[in-house]
Amino acid sequence: MLELEIEIHFSKTATPAIRRNLAPAAALAKATATHMRRRLARRRYATRPDAFSATPTAGPKKRRRYYISPAYAREIGAKKTSYKSSVDMHQAVRATAPGVVSGELLRSMRVRNFGRDAMVIEFAGSSLGASSTHTARMTAQRDEEGQRLFETTLSKTGQVRARQLREFKRDKKGKVLFRRNPKKVLNRLKAAAVFNHTNIGLLQPTNAESKAQVAAIGENLFAILIRTFGGVVIQEENDKGERRLYEAIKRELQR
């Protein structure tokens, strides 16, 4: 699944001219994102991650535990939802490194235009998180005439605020109804949580990858100069950095 092609997404306001101007940047970002995703799938990062926490984060003080939701447990193949700590849970599901527990975070990687001047690599969409549960369905409270009820408050600046009153939605027997699917978490927030807990940026390039980007783009620009003004190409054995990424960027630029 992780070998699926990286998606390049343009906003609705991106005109054909903007897409043409951003084509080289899109090629660079796509090749880099593909290379990074494969690297992350092998649990290799730009910096050394901190260890998973061995301290329980929930439960009674006398017996604190680390909990995950039943939906997330099914997603990652866990046999239970309660563990001694975060490190205990990750060891149980053989997730020895952050960011690749279920694989959904890596699958969400895409390339997107940032206005008319740049392309960015990001984690798009949402997926199940450790706390994803089935939430109760809510409905608006109404009076005897069927009109919605609101609660009004006065702010410190004297403005009147109105909040719609809501209540649990129930079936004919009075039982609370829950949503069919558990609530998901934005993948960019999951990536941020990985950084906060392990001190690594999943989209941070390594030094060798940065060298490969500079070398591939520089060679491409030099070739344009040669075609435009003429001259002789002199082969130099410069450091190309991560060779596979260097070759991938060159292939994307030639398409």
Instruction: Output the pTM of the full model.
Output: 0.75
Domain boundaries, the chain: 7-133+181-203, 138-168, 205-255
- How far is it, in rounded angstroms, from Cα 49 to Cα 201? 9
Q: For residue 126, give the nearest of 176, 190, 169, 82 by alpha carbon.
A: 190
The confidence score (pLDDT) of residue 232 equals 59
DSSP strand pairing (109-114 vs 7-9): parallel
Kindly give the confidence (pLDDT) of every residue in the chain, 255 residues in length, as a single tens digit, with 9 standing for 90 and above.
456 689 999 999 999 999 999 999 999 999 999 999 999 988 899 998 888 788 888 777 777 888 888 888 888 888 899 998 888 888 888 876 777 787 888 999 999 999 999 999 999 999 988 888 777 788 888 888 888 888 888 888 888 888 888 888 888 888 877 778 888 889 999 999 889 888 889 999 999 999 999 888 888 776 665 666 666 555 555 678 899 999 999 899 888
The confidence score (pLDDT) of residue 2 equals 54
CA 214 to chain centre: 25
The confidence score (pLDDT) of residue 222 equals 65
User: Which phi and psi angles does 163 have, rounded to 5°?
Assistant: -120, 125
Q: Cα 242–187–52 angle (5° rounding)?
A: 75
* Secondary structure (H, E, C), the chain: CCCCCCEEECCCCCCHHHHHHCHHHHHHHHHHHHHHHHHHHCCCCCCCCCCCCCCCCECCHHHCEEECCHHHHHHHCCCCCEECCHHHHHHHCCCCCCCCCCCHHHHCEEEEEECCCEEEEEECCEECCCCCCCCECEEECECCCCCECEEEEECCCCCEEEEECEEECECCCCCECECCCCCCEEHHHHHHHHHHHHCCCCCCCCHHHHHHHHHHHHHHHHHHHHHHHCCCCCCCCCCCCCHHHHHHHHHHHHC
Quick check: 91 and 14 in contact, CB under 8 A?
no
